[in-house]
Amino acid sequence: MQLAKQIAIPTIECTIRIWGGPGSGKTSYATQIVQSYGVSPSELAALTLRKKMADDLARKLTQQGIADSSDELPYCSTMHGVIRRWFDFPSDASIYGNREAGTPNLQKAFFEERRIPFNESGEDIFGTIPDKLGNLFLALRTWLIHTMHKPQEWGKAPLAAEFIRHGGGHRLFMRLLKEYEDFKLDNDLWDFDDLILAALRSDQAPPVKLVLVDECQDNSLAMHTITAEWAQKIPIVILAGDPNQSIYGFLGSDPKLFWNHTKARKEINLEKCFRIPENTWEVAKSILEASRHPVPDFKFDKKEGIVKRIAAHKLLDILRQHPWPAFHLVRANFQRERIAELLIKVGRPFKGYASRWTDADFHLYNAIFEIRKYAENGFDSEKLIPLPYLKRLAEVFPKQFFNCKKNEITSEWEWKEIHKVLKPLLISRLLSPDPLAHTLKSGISETQKLKVVNALRYNDRKLTEADLHRIMTIHEAKGLECDTVFLYSEWTRKIKHEANFREEARVWFVGATRHRHMLIIVDGLFSDFLACETCPFLRRWEGD
């Protein structure tokens, strides 16, 4: 990342600085310190990077007894969320809209008017690296604001070459920048970058006595500057982070700010890892050594985990044999599709791709599973079936399979006897090897059929959201953890030639530290893609 040279970088004068590697309990330890100061919920600002992390932070603060619920923590959020609450930016003026309230995303409308490709990704700007022209423009604008560069300097951004590759250029960028600002002004809208600008222009701080900044290693220059200003006015300032996990340089973050521009009255280094087993740590450790990052001298709460390195042709068998949910971490967005195809083949529910499992898929699968289970145990037609399952069956099958009119299946029921709704013919069809052979084309797609039929073949229990496999980029997985993680070892040649080597090492380090028990590195799944090759950070670790 290039910081604006004309900006004098301020130093954050903090009370306590906490450093700890992945799984060292930084957030939990920080909340214990917060609790020791005895501040009330309204006197506390607790900031972190992403909404999911903020929810986890609020949960840990309530566990410490600081508040009875997250509702009592008005300033526990992302930095954007805290600024939004502090300045009272109106929710109905957010350019992102609100799906629950039925208001549209007006960023999407802005780009559609100009026929510019745009992916509606909601409010999580840190979720993944953008791959559409409209999203790339917004990422460049965010980078300019967060690094405090002038608009004409957008070409210095890490994603500038990608913007040009997608058909952008200086003239287009400057035109879009003006039109985007005019669009917001004309419609009285704000976005996240406006929140950062509002805080930079203010010489005030939120009305609290203690501020905790978690995931501080991902602060940009703008966020660092805001925190430094607040630290002059708030009595107690606690910073927590791990520079080895700083991976958002494309949006302006810089781990050097944490190392070189914070000054603490007390330093705390956490030296015990509670998440990762000692033997599987060797993978992450080798990545840090290869990239010459500092390697923490950890003690481990767990000694033995499982780490495997497998060829792609073994992946299907492993997925069939083990029904547990897992993370599937890839480096590039286009790699999600193939993993989704494999999970469909083995009947595993998943999210993270367009063909993800929905409530409709769960209801149909569980309806058929329940009826088959009753049949195995000696079918009793008086058995009850939940209303959502019945409604889904009514959407999928023709009316001649039902004892009542389909529009009579109403919310007045919570449960209903199977025989009063389903005819014996439909029940017999659901017990057959191909239960979805006679469905309405309007009620179910071929992909949905394949998902449910394969799930019935490979699972022996009802399925819920707790069984979901999650397909994510490594950036999306930041701050999350799972018992089992599949890490797909291939990156793209474009990333190889354009990415910052040290930041890219940190990305793979994050990927190799999301597991609690088992890490499975998968080689060669994308070997037929000319754009892909095995990343060098995992080559050093050969596995068993």
Helix (H) or strand (E) holding 373: helix 359-376
Cα separation of 3 and 157, whole Å? 10
In three-state secondary structure terms, 32 is helix
**Which pLDDT score, from 0 to 100, does residue 102 have?**
80
The pTM (predicted TM-score) of the whole model is: 0.89
Which positions ≥6 away from 537 have C-beta within 8 Å?
286, 287, 290, 291, 504, 505, 508, 509
**What domains does the chain contain, in order, with CATH numbers?**
15-89+196-270 (3.40.50.300), 106-189 (no CATH), 279-354+468-538 (3.40.50.300), 359-465 (no CATH)
| 3-class state of residue 350 by DSSP | strand
Confidence of residue 125 (pLDDT cuts 50, 70, 90): low
Give the three-class secondary structure for 258: helix
pLDDT confidence tier of residue 126, bands split at 50, 70 and 90: low
Lowest mean pLDDT among 203-207, 314-318, 319-323: 319-323
What pLDDT is attached to residue 290? 85
* Nearest-angstrom CA–CA distance, 26 and 240: 7
Q: Look at residue 2 and tell me whether its pLDDT is greater than 50.
A: no
Tens of pLDDT, residues 284-301: 999 999 888 888 888 999
Give the SS3 label for residue 482: strand
Q: Crossing angle for the helix pair 79-87 and 192-201, nearest 10 degrees? A: 70
> For 293-297, 432-436, 494-498, which range has the lowest pLDDT when averaged over its residues?
494-498
Determine which of 19-28, 40-49, 376-385 has the lowest per-residue pLDDT on average. Answer: 376-385
For the segment 405-422, the average pLDDT, to the nearest whole number, is: 75
Whole-number mean pLDDT of the chain?
Answer: 91
pLDDT at residue number 455:
97
